[in-house]
Each structure stands twice: as C-alpha cells, then as structure tokens.
Amino acid sequence: MTANVTHLELELQPADGQRVASLCGPFDDNIKQLERRLGVEINHQNEHFQIVGPERLARVVNDILTRLYVDTQSVKGQAVPDITPEQVHLAIKESRVLEQDEEEADTGYRYGKEVVIKTKRGLIKPRSPNQAHYVAHILSHDITFGIGPAGTGKTYLAVAAAVDALERQEIRRILLTRPAVEAGEKLGFLPGDLSQKVDPYLRPLYDALFEMLGFERVEKLIERNVIEVAPLAYMRGRTLNDAFVILDESQNTTVEQMKMFLTRIGFNSKAVITGDITQIDLPRNARSGLRHAIEVLGGVEGLSFNFFRAEDVVRHPVVARIVRAYEAFDEAQKQQKEQKEQKRQSSAPNEESDA
C-alpha cells in the first residue's frame, strides 16, 4: 500500500510570512480543506511544505498551493490579500482531480468494488444494485436525487452517508430538511410552538440519526448546531458551505421551493434530494418541484438521478408486494385511459361524416 504514497517537498518563493499565513488561512483552515477534500497530509514550517499522499493527488496539491501563493502577492502599498475557502474550492474544481475520481468510483463499482458506509454503530451496506449505485453517486456527485417508493432506503442511506462524511471531517455540519406538508393538512391545527409543530414531520430523520449516532450524541450535536433539522421554509436566504444537506419528501415541494433549495448549495457541500412521485400531497393546482426537477435538470453535469423500484424495498416483504400492486393498478388505469382516448379519436371522423 505504501508504494503509491509519495512525500513531496515544496518551498514557496519568495519567502514571506504574511503571504504564507494568508495562504494557510485562519487556524490553517485552507490547508485542512485541501487535506479533507483530497485525502493528503500537509505539513509546513514557514514557507517549507511537505505533502504526503498518493503521487497524483500530492502533485495536484503542489500545483494548487503554488498557484494560490501567487494570488497572495499584494499590490505595492496594499495589504496581503486573504485566500478564502471559496478560492481553495475553485482551485480544486479547476484541477478536475475530483471528476477523475468520480469516473474511477463508478468504474470501480461496475467491476465489483463494494460500497460501504462506516458509522459508530457499524457498517451500513447497500442491499441491492440500485442502492449501491445510489451510494456511489452520493459519494461522487455534488447533488444526488433518490426517487422511488417507500422502504427503498433513500433517506436512511443518505443520512448514513452524511454521518460518515461528518465523522471523517469532510464536512462541518449536517442539515436535514423537508417540506411541512402531509396529506393536505395545515400546521396550525397542531399544538405547541413552531418547533413542536414541525418535529413530527421530521421524525424519520431523527430516527435514522439516533440509530447511527445514539440519542445523547445527536442531542449534543444539535445543541452545537453541528446537526440542524428544520422545515424547508427555513432555507430561504441561506447559503450552505461545508455542509451535507438532505431534502426528504421532496415530492411535496413546489417548483419555486425546489429551485430555492437547489440554489442554497454552497462551497464544499453535498445535497441529497429524496422523494416518491407517487405520493404527492400538494393541492391539485400545485406542480411538484421534484417532478419538474426531473424534467428540467436531467442533463445537468454534476447531478445524479437514481430511480428505485419495488425490488429495492428492504422492509417487510409484504411492502414490496403492496408497491407492485399499486404499480400494476396505475398501469392498468393508464392503459384504460389510452384505450378510451383512442376510441374517442377513431369515432370522431365518423361523427363528422354523419353530420
């Protein structure tokens, strides 16, 4: 394993303590972001840097540090410009190294590489090829859609991936959200303040967190705002950096809400959107934001759409049979409508000729 690891030495010139401090960021945050995102170790003393990791990634980091150091050069008489986390993120994107890793991750799965998520409570493994593709796409894409019937593991696997990313310090916080719409009901009839009204709608997300991290740790992380569970309406006006964001029950978003959510995604963040387009509880005149997103965003680079079927249900076997029964009924209804429409169209010319 150590054969692929290299120790790369870098000396930034001209030596300048202020420029080095700007490059590294407050408390070495920029260096930590490079380590977290690219899986390398960076040690430095003044302008002398040592990069430890796979040779390809170490050389990429070497180039990024060199280019960003150039950006710290100040105009005569002005202060040294700060290197921001956004500049580090853009430098990583420009290197295209993560895009190459996406291709390798997908190829690795196709040739039998097993995708496993690690949490404090143990390993979480996908139970079907669709689930494995879904997890692989969550790990390799910025925005991932999981669409399908209840019980296919869409939300559970997304929460597991978020917990894994938090444990490995790839992100700084987890944000779980969903629209507060259920079967056309309004929040006003529920007792308590807004938080107490919304909590029942977010219970499935809490349950997954409790199972993976334990009740006490989840409560502490919520108190520190490392984990935030909130209704979708709270997302408006925010930009979410260094976060893993999960939008659950997205079939109940409007088109405007879905667009608002997707445009909240910031630097070094991932978003997973889950939903079941057969269980839309919006008013009849409101279009589902999830259905609209499938049509509009299908060809957008960096997004992944994953569709689950009854075969992917991991609950009681009867749930899969129920899902299939509903699918068969819907298909029969669709065929009946098509046949009626065909008969109506074929009879229309005859009625005109009789007239």
The whole-number pLDDT of residue 185 equals 44
Question: What amino acid occupies position 152?
Answer: T
Distance (Å, whole) CA 345 – CA 339: 10
Task: Give pLDDT tens digits along the chain (355 positions).
Answer: 333 678 899 999 999 999 999 999 998 999 988 987 787 889 999 999 999 888 888 999 999 999 999 999 887 778 888 999 888 888 887 787 765 555 554 544 443 344 567 666 667 778 778 888 898 899 888 999 999 888 888 988 999 999 988 988 889 999 988 887 554 445 455 455 545 555 666 777 888 888 888 889 999 999 999 998 888 877 877 778 899 999 999 999 999 999 999 988 888 899 999 998 878 888 888 899 998 998 888 778 888 999 887 667 766 556 667 767 877 888 888 888 888 888 888 776 655 555 5
Whether 178 and 245 have beta carbons less than 8 Å apart is answered as no
For 295-313, write each residue's pLDDT tens digit: 888 778 888 999 887 667 7
Query: Domains of the chain: which residue ranges?
Result: 2-95, 113-318
Whole-number Å distance between alpha carbons of 351 and 73? 82
CATH 3.40.50.300 fits 113-318, yes or no: yes
* CATH number assigned to the domain covering 2-95: 3.30.1370.10
- Give the H or E element holding residue 344: helix 317-354
Those residues with Cβ within 8 angstroms of residue 306's Cβ, 6 or more apart along the chain or in another chain = 130, 133, 134, 137, 144, 145, 146, 147, 148
Q: Which residues of 286-296 are buried (b: 16+ CB within 10 A; e: fewer)?
A: eebbbbbbbee
Its pTM stands at 0.63
Q: How far apart are CA 162 and CA 209, in angstroms?
A: 10
- Do strands 227-231 and 173-178 pair parallel, antiparallel, or not at all (unpaired)? parallel
Q: Are 201 and 155 in contact (CB under 8 A)?
A: no
pLDDT of residue 2: 38
Q: How far is the C-alpha of 149 from the C-alpha of 310, rounded, in Å?
A: 7
